[in-house]
Structure 1
Amino acid sequence: MEQELDLDGMIRQRIRGLRLARGWTLDTLAARSHLSPSNLSRIETGRRRIAIDQLVPIAKALDTTLDQLVESHDDADVVIRPQACDSPGLTSWLLSRERSLHGVTVAKMRITPDRPTGAEHLKVHPGREWFTVLSGTARLELGERTILIQEGNAAEFSTMTPHSIGAHDGPVEILTIFDGEGERTHLHGNDSV
């Protein structure tokens, strides 16, 4: 019963929050949802029970879906509990949900100096890649160039240039963002970053 009251309160907050975010008065939302301002006021304040036949027009007026209006606020939809994935010289943790919004994947990687390097480990794929160094120094092999990226700095580059990220003088931890091609190449290919 308490969980039902929590969900009920959350729905009321969402309705009020969405209305206020649009700069609408109760009268404006009432006109758009074909409900009376007094009914909407009682719904928002908890003095009236929420009925499904009222939520559908409210959701439509607020340009959202009924599912989004009533979705659970369980922390499972917020908290990501990454699992480590190991390969020689590389441990990676996926920090975004699969098929995330905008087609990007966020991952944390720990690279050690014993990671295989050399021309045969350079990758090429469509898109762009970005990473920032959390600790240590990263060695970016980018075509014929070797670029050292220190802790606190970031790199962004076209992935059509043969590339690989390694560790320089000790382990390095990076936070990286891949597009769809980068994810398939680097996280599912079990090869070099």
Structure 2
Amino acid sequence: MNDVQEISDVVRQRIRGLRQARGWSLDALAARCHLSPSTLSRIETGHRRIDLDQLVALARALDTTIDHLVEPVDDADVIIRPMQHQEPGLTTWVLSRDPAQNAGRHIAKMRITAERRTGPDHQAVHPGREWFMVISGTALLHLGERQIPVATGNAAEFNTMIPHSIGAVDGPVEILTIFDQEGERAHATS
């Protein structure tokens, strides 16, 4: 199978998948993109080539972009091999590939140990919000003058304009966290 045929097959699968996910019949989508139901059926089943004007109309009707419909499928685009960043008391693995595709947010796993400096002298402040969930251990969220323990299975979300840092209570803690680009810069330098 050649690359053009593979992409064509992926586009057809995505069109059908988006249509079905919205609960639309062939007739419903055909009406939205001004195609006949039989033409749409032949496009989805591979019995008809997709013209560029049809692709534009389908993308618009499905509330997506042509780029999302024709994006090639490649296992390398699925698997993320996070690089480990280490500093005293903190190991970080960034789990998101491209912040532009995640509305500017980064997703990371962090392992925090007692060696990490936290508290009033080591708190960061930056625009945005941060969210984290404790995978194991107990995190100690320093939020301004408050100290809030967050146990395994619990999550925390807070405004990052409040001075903050995250430490560990009684041994290492592992968290999954989501923060914006400002947060990534703040965490990389704290």
TM band (smaller chain)? 0.7 to 0.9
- Partner of 1:82, secondary structure, is coil
Structure 1 position 13, deviation (Å) = 1.8
Deviation at 1:31, TM superposition (A): 4.4
Secondary structure (helix, strand or coil) at the match of 1:136 reads strand
Q: Deviations over 1:91-135 (max 9, x none)?
A: 101122333433322111011111223432122223332211111
Structure 2 match to 1:150: 151
Counterpart in 2 of 1:82?
Answer: 82
Number of residue pairs matched by the alignment:
189
Q: Is contact 2:11–2:69 with CA below 8 Å preserved after alignment?
A: yes
- In the alignment, the residues of structure 1 paired with residue 29 and residue 155 of structure 2 have an alpha-carbon distance, to the nearest angstrom, of 46
- C-alpha distance in structure 1 between counterparts of 2:130 and 2:34, whole Å: 49
Match of residue 69 from structure 1: 69
2:162 matched to 1:161?
Answer: yes
| Aligned position for 1:133 | 134
Is the contact made by 2:12 and 2:45 (CA closer than 8 Å) also made in structure 1?
yes
1:14 is matched with 14
In 2, the alpha carbon distance for the partners of 1:19 and 1:117 equals 50
How far the C-alpha of 1:41 sits from its partner, in A, is: 1.9
The verdict on how the C-alpha distance between 1:31 and 1:84 changes in structure 2, with shifts beyond 3 A counting, is same
The separation in 2 between residues aligned to 1:21 and 1:118, in whole angstroms, is 47
| Equivalent pair of 2:114/2:171 in contact (CA under 8 Å) | yes
Alpha-carbon contact 2:133-2:175 (below 8 Å) kept: yes
Write the distance in 1 (CA, Å) between the matches of 2:59 and 2:48.
17
Structure 1 counterpart of 2:14, one-letter code = R
Q: 1:163 to 1:71 in 2, by over 3 A?
A: same
1:28-177 pair list within 5 angstroms: 28-96=28-96, 97-177=98-178
Q: 1:168 to 1:27 in 2, by over 3 A?
A: closer
Kindly report the root-mean-square deviation, in angstroms, between the aligned alpha carbons of the 2 structures. Answer: 2.5
The alignment partner of 1:166 has SS state of: strand
Shift of 1:171: 1.3
Call closer, same or farther: CA 1:15–1:121 in 2, change over 3 Å: same
SS of the residue corresponding to residue 73 of structure 2 reads coil
Worse-matched range after superposition: 130-139 or 31-40: 31-40
Give the secondary-structure state (helix, strand or coil) at the position aligned to 1:67: helix
Tell me the CA shift for residue 42 of structure 1: 1.6
TM-score for the superposition, normalised by structure 2: 0.82
- In the superposition, relative to structure 1, how do residues 20 and 115 fare at CA in structure 2: closer, same or farther (>3 Å)? closer
Describe the superposition over 1:171-190 as per-residue Cα deviations: whole angstroms up to 9, x where unpaired.
Answer: 11111121343222113xx2
The structure with more strand, counted as a fraction of residues: 2
C-alpha separation between the residues in 2 aligned to 1:87 and 1:6? Answer: 44
Gaps of 5+ in 1: none
Q: Is the 8 A contact 2:120 2:144 kept in 1?
A: no
TM-score scaled by length of structure 1:
0.81
Unaligned stretches of 5+ residues in structure 2: none
